[in-house]
Amino acid sequence: LEFSVAKYQAIKKAIFITAQDKTYGSYLEFGVFTGSSFNFAMKVNKKIEKLFGETNCEFIGFDSFEGFGEIKKDDENPSFKNKTFIVNKNKILSNIKKCSEGQKYRIVEGFYKNTIKNKTTKDLNVEKARVVMIDCDLKESAHLALEFIKPSIQEGTIILFDDYHY
């Protein structure tokens, strides 16, 4: 429970700080899983906009919804199996749609090696990142996400890491 609470507090704080500092851009989340933190970010942004005005923030989530897929030697962990984190994609996407009222969002579906590898945010028409949540669990996935976001990082961008396994 403490872990989840801290994660949500970090998202809320990042969205508040970037709105207060007028750091505009997109919210990018790598590892949507059940959509709970993605939905939370959109809900927080709605409330923050009442204080600071329109942020014109697009929420972009990245996930395969098919678990880890192939796990390379560097990322092996006894609790990680290639089927770990498989979810009902249609249920997740339906819930995100319900929670997105008044917010712009899109989901980039697929394994990162197929969706963001050798690409950058410019390829997806993302100019600037406001907040980036990296919840990939695997070193390879986190590395691909960090390479992908490089051109969108600006002064004030906040990058959050949910998990770090070594």
pLDDT in tens, 98-112: 999 989 999 999 999
**The pLDDT value given to residue 1:** 43
**The pLDDT value given to residue 115:** 97
56 touches 25 (CB < 8 A): no
**The pLDDT value given to residue 58:** 98
Kindly tell me if the per-residue pLDDT of 166 is higher than 60: no
Question: Per-residue pLDDT averaged across 53-67, rounded?
Answer: 95
Its pTM stands at: 0.93
| Each residue's pLDDT tens digit, 14-46 | 999 999 999 999 999 999 999 999 999 999 999
Phi, psi angle pair for 29, to nearest 5°: -125, 120
